[in-house]
């Protein structure tokens, strides 16, 4: 059984959903430390001049100890309305925007308290639209108390996974020897970003998967 893990990202890129699709079970790492200026509270959409960051404002309490699951959204600004206006303005002429507009408009009519909640809701919508049926768990429900590579090993054991699917970035920080020592096969995601027609001239890779959906529809990219 193939297992993969990841922090819940906001409007994740296409490779994120690809990882879930290629796994037999997926775990949201919601107990890890929140990191600023990464993809936990922001991502990019396509605009005429290139791309634009959409950033969810959060309330910073202790930037060194705050768990991702404890991060509150800062609703003093009308970020949901601003994000939806940006999405609607830039994708209104995309081929599949009318078909899926309401699924996302509903998200941006809601007041969110926790960052994790809005991130997970959006990922659930993407999984549903693309037909990704991989069972999902939350690390916080697994009683995992270790860190780093051992955390991954223990998650695999907890869910009886014999194979761990890692993003290529894992090569920079994981202790690969621990997987062999624990009888777990380690494989790396070999994701090739598809090139597809976007609503504006040219192609910008690594946008939120919402860009692929609105431009290409709900068919999975070539595997």
Domain assignment present for 162: yes
For the CA atoms of the chain, what is the radius of gyration? 18
What's residue 118's pLDDT?
98
Full residue range of the structural domain in which residue 46 is found: 2-216
Question: Structure pTM?
Answer: 0.95
Q: Quote the longest CA-to-CA distance of the chain.
A: 53
What's residue 13's pLDDT?
97
Cα four-point dihedral sign 111, 113, 118, 121: negative
What's residue 36's pLDDT?
83
Number of structural domains, the chain?
Answer: 1
Task: Let me know: does 219 contact 57? Beta carbons within 8 Å.
Answer: no
Domain assignment present for 165: yes
As a whole number of angstroms, the distance between CA 163 and CA 129 comes to: 27
Domain assignment present for 18: yes
Contacting residues for 99 by C-beta, under 8 A, at least 6 apart: 217
Domain assignment present for 49: yes
Per residue in 72-83, pLDDT (tens digit) is 999 999 999 999
What's residue 79's pLDDT?
97
What's residue 62's pLDDT?
67
What's residue 172's pLDDT?
80
Task: Show the low-confidence residues of the chain (pLDDT under 50).
Answer: none
Domain assignment present for 222: no
């Amino acid at each position: 059984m193939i297992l993969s893990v990841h922090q819940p990202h906001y409007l994740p890129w296409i490779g994120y959903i690809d990882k879930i699709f290629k796994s037999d079970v997926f775990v949201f790492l919601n107990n890890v430390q929140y990191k600023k200026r990464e993809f936990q509270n922001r991502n990019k959409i396509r605009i005429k001049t290139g791309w634009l960051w959409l950033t969810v404002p959060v309330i910073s309490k202790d930037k060194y100890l705050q768990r991702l699951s404890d991060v509150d959204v800062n609703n003093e600004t009308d970020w949901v309305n601003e994000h939806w206006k940006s999405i609607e303005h830039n994708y209104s002429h995309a081929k599949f925007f009318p078909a899926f507009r309401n699924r996302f408009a509903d998200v941006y009519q809601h007041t969110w308290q926790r960052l994790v909640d809005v991130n997970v809701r959006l990922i659930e919508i993407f999984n549903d639209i693309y037909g990704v049926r991989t069972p999902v768990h939350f690390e916080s429900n697994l009683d995992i108390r270790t860190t780093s590579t051992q955390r991954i090993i223990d998650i695999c054991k907890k869910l009886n996974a014999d194979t761990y699917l890692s993003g290529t970035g894992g090569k920079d920080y994981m202790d690969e020897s621990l997987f062999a020592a624990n009888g777990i096969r380690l494989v790396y995601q070999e994701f090739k970003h598809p090139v597809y027609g976007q609503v504006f001239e040219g192609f910008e890779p690594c946008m939120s998967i919402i860009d692929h959906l609105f431009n290409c529809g709900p068919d999975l990219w070539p595997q």
